[in-house]
Structure 1
C-alpha cells in the first residue's frame, strides 16, 4: 500500500489534470462524454498512475486501503463528478467490491471480484422495488427465488438499479422464505450479464447524469441461476446487506464531500475577486457568514465521517454512527452547494461555473442510500432503546 498522503496528492493532481477538463466540457453528463468508453480510457490512465481501486483487496489488484484511509482519497476523487469513475470507486461497484471481499467464495472472488477491482467489468446491486415492494423498508421484498434442480428461478421487478445497463453482473436480492413485510427470508444471488430472463426494461429519468449505466428498471422472469450463484447463506441476505450498506453510505459521503468542496472553493474564489457596493464581495458580512457556514459544514461532515469509519475499521457494525454521518452529510453538503450558488449569483446557476451541475448531482443524496427521514427514524429508535435499556 502506498503512503496515504502521497496518494491523496497524486489523486488530486490526476483529477485536476486528466479528469476535470472532460467533466467540465460535458457538464458532468457521463454518457455525453462517452459512457463506458470514457470509463475504460480514464481507468487505464488511473491504472498507469497507480491510482486504480484504492479500496480493492491487494490480492485482487487493489491498494487495500482501510475506511479511514479511503476518506481523503475518495474526497480527492470526488472533486470531479467523473473522478470516482476514473478511480473505479463509483457506486455501486465500490459497495459491491466491499461486499464480495467479505462474503464471496474463492470461486466467486475469482469470477466476479477480481474483474471488478481491475475495472474489466461494472456491476449492479438489485434490491429496490416499486411499491408495494422493498424500498426504504427492505422487509417488503417481493422478488422471489424458488428452488429447482441445480439452482434457483428468480421472478420479480426491480427499479432505480444504478449501473444496470451494461453491467457485467448484478447482485440481486430475492426472497427465499417468508412473505413481504416479514423480517428475514432474503438471499443474495449473483447473476452474470446475459442470464436468460433478466431484462433491463428502461432507464428512469432522474436529475443526475454522472452515473454510468443509469438508474434502471429491471425484470426477472424465471431467471435461472445455479446453486453456486448464491452469495453467502440462504435466508441471510439482509444480514449480508448490512456488510455493504454502512461502508457504502460512508464512501458516498467521501465522494460528495469532494464535490461540495469544489463548489465551495469556486464560490470563494469568485467572491474574493468580485467587487460590489464599494468593496470585494468577500469583505461583506453576509458573504462571510456564508463562507464560514460552509467551512463549518465541511469540517463537521469530515469529523462525523471519520468517527463512523473508525468504528467500521474496528469491525463494528456502526449502524448508529453511519446513519448519523450519512444524514448530516447529505443535508450539510446540500447546504454547502446551495450557499455556493447564492454567492455566485447568476453565474451560480449557469454552465460557466461547475456549481450548478454539482447542485444537480448532489440533491439525490438526501434520498439515495436511505432518505433522511428514514435514517432519523432509525436513529431515534436506537437512542430510545439505548437509554431505556440503561435505565432498567
Structure 2
C-alpha cells in the first residue's frame, strides 16, 4: 500500500470511530432522559385501584372483585362519605389527600375504617391510637390472635408502630408497639397499619401480603377506596358526591409506553442519519501486488486437488466451456448445457450423444479422467471455432 493511502485509511477509521462514539453517547443520553425527568415523578398513581404500575393497587382491586367484594373508587372525601353504609369498609391510604375537616367527616361516616400508611390526622380517623415511632418495613410474623392476620401469616409490614386504646388488638410487633392495631368504638371497627407497601402491585405476591390485604380490605361486601384525586384542589371534597371524571384514551396509556416510543423514534432518527451519511467519492488506489490470472488458476487447481474435489473441478470446467461455446454458437446466456451440446454437435457434425456426455456427464472418477475431460473440452471448443 502506498504512503498516501495509509493516512487516508487512518483518517477514515478516525471518522468512523467519531461517528460511532457520537451515536453511543446520543443513545445513552436518550435512555437516561426518562430517568432524569422522572426524578420527581411517581411513575403512576400510588395505591390507586385502577393503576397498574408497581405502586398502584389494581391487582388488589381485581383480587377483591374476584372474591365478590364490590370496589368503589372515589376521589373525594364527600364521595367517600356518600358511598359509605352500614355494611361497607372505607379504605383510607397515604395517597388519600385529606385536611382535618375531611378527616372529621370520614370519622363519623357509616361503616368500618381501614387506615393504611402514613395518613395525616390519625387522631381524628382513629382516636385512641398513638404513634410510637418509625419501624423498619420487613417481613414480620403476626404474633397475635387476630383471625385475619393469623390466616395470612408473615407479611411485609412496619413503617410505623402504634399502641391502641384499651381492648384493642395489636399484631406484627414493631419497635415499642405493633404495625397493625384494631379496635372497636361507637359501632365502628377501625384497623390501622403503619405501611401500605404490602397492598401495592409490587409487593402483593410476596409472603402473605395478598392474604392479609384480602382479609382486611375484603371484610365487608363493599369497599369504598378513597384515592388521590385527579385535581389536588378537590382533596378537601366539594360536597357534591361525584366520582372520578371519565378519562381520555391518552390517560389510559402507561407512562412507560410513551417513553419507549420516544426512545424508539430517537433511535430510528439516529440510525437514519448514520446510514444516510455520504461516504464520498471513490478513491483510486494502486494495488500493492499484481497477481497474474495464471497464478490464480493454478492456486485454485491445487486447492481442488488437495481436497480431491474432482466433481467441483469438472463442473467448473464444463460450465466455463458451455459459456464460451454458447457465445460462439450465438445462443443466449440463459441456454442450458444440453442446448449448447445439441447446437455444438450440429455445428461440428458430430453425434449429439458424446457431446452431451462431455458437457453434462457424470464427474470423473480420478485425476486422469479429469485431465482427459479438460482435453476433450478444449478439442470441442476448437472444432466449434474452426467450423
Q: TM-score, normalised by structure 1?
A: 0.22
Q: TM-score, normalised by structure 2?
A: 0.22
Q: Which has the larger radius of gyration?
A: 2
